[in-house]
Amino acid sequence: MRKLWFRRRGVSTMIGGIIVLMLLLTALAAMILVSQQYDAYQTTANAMQQRDNERFAENLKAVSPAISEGNPFSVTCAGGGNCNTYTMTIANLNIGLQIARIYINSLATVGCTNLCVLDPGPAAAPNAFLASDRYVNPGELHNVTFWLPGNIILPREEGGRKYGLNTIWIATMRGRVFSFQWPLPPPGPAGG
């Protein structure tokens, strides 16, 4: 009888040891899984932070004179009709960026009375800008050529008012939007 008791105690010790070993292995597997998930989360969070840093590092500025009419001013658009050509000069003060879209709003009746939305295009087309002008290198003075329909002219002056008739927004691929008015107001402190 005594021999049977010792055998049973050996089996129960082995079963207990296997259970403890399984618990330890389960805890180790759970720790590895949690650390891998945390590492994946940190990698994603760091990538998002880097994109945010790049987005806020974008910095465009209008250069005076910001917009000039093309030569010749009116050209034939793709698909027929006339388009007015403009060239906008901007300075990129930071990292390289890509222009996604340009928006123009004008206070004058001959301008964009509703919001003009300009998308990139390969050639002269109404409400488009030259697709090859999209990418702006860091530290570069950059010209962007765009076309408006022949019946829309961005005014330089209206009723004695010379500044701020046209508002132009430039949206970048990273989601940043830059705005300026044209004609540019004179430098110096703001008036009353």
Q: In 58-119, which ranges are continuous DSSP H helix?
A: none
* Six token digits for residue 40: 């994946």
| Full-model pTM | 0.69
DSSP letter string, 115-135? PEEEEEESS--TTEEEGGG-E
* pLDDT of res. 192: 42
pLDDT confidence tier of residue 19, bands split at 50, 70 and 90: very high
**Which pLDDT does position 185 carry in this prediction?**
72
Task: Say which residue, 31 or 83, is predicted with more confidence.
Answer: 31
In this prediction, residues 71-80 reach a mean pLDDT of 75
Q: What mean pLDDT is reported for the chain?
A: 83
Q: Is the pLDDT of residue 5 over 60?
A: no
Share of the chain above pLDDT 70, in %: 85
